[in-house]
Structures are given as C-alpha cells and as structure tokens.
Amino acid sequence: MIYKIFRSPEWEELQRNGHSAGAPIDVADGFVHFSTAGQLAGTLGKHFAGVSGLWLAALDEAGLSESLKWEVSRGGALFPHLYRRLALADILWCREIPMTEAGHLLPDDLA
C-alpha cells in the first residue's frame, strides 16, 4: 500500500475530473509523489507542517504497474513516484487527516 496526501482543493479537483496531474510540486517534478506508511509522518512534517484540510488516499501499488517507479529521495530512502496522471479509480480509500494540537493524526490501520 502507498499513500498520497492531498490538500482539500486537490482532492476536490480529482473527484470532479476523475484524474489529476497532482499537486503543483508533482507537476513541476513530472511525477506524482507518494509515501509508504513509514514515510508519511516525515512527509507531513516536511511538506505540510501546520496545514489543515488534508486528505490521505491509499492506493495498491500493484495496480499502478510499470508507471510506478521507486526512486531515491529524502534521506536516501526509496519513494514511490507515479509517471502518469493519477486516476480517481486508482484510489482504494481516502480519509481526512485530522489536525490536533500535537499535529496531524494519521490512522492507526496503515499497512
């Protein structure tokens, strides 16, 4: 399982259009950024600190076939990158990420 963090307008656009090139950073980099469950807290801290109105989408990496590449990124870790538009049909589920006084609250059941 891999995960994509969306800001509310990005998630709404994907729902409305059925597909998306991703967030502005995804468009600039030429691929859609994802994280594993173990990378999510770091991604939230680095790119979304203090940001509310976030959504977490889960995707089955097997369904993305050869369009998904694992590439070295932050701290030398391998991160999943999608080299095609993201389709709403790719997403298994999407949940709001609550913001608490301590920060973002991720679901306990991430695989």
Chain-centre distance for alpha carbon 93: 12
Give all domains of the chain, ordered by start, each with its CATH number.
2-99 (3.20.170.20)
pLDDT of residue 109: 82
pLDDT of residue 42: 94
pLDDT of residue 87: 97
Phi, psi of 43 (to 5 degrees): -65, -45
Show the tokens assigned to 40.
Answer: 């999510």
pLDDT of residue 59: 97
Decide if 100 contacts 90 (C-beta within 8 A): no
pLDDT of residue 95: 96
CB-based contacts of 70, cutoff 8 Å, min separation 6: 78, 79, 80, 81
For the chain, which ranges sit under pLDDT 70?
A: 111
pLDDT of residue 111: 66
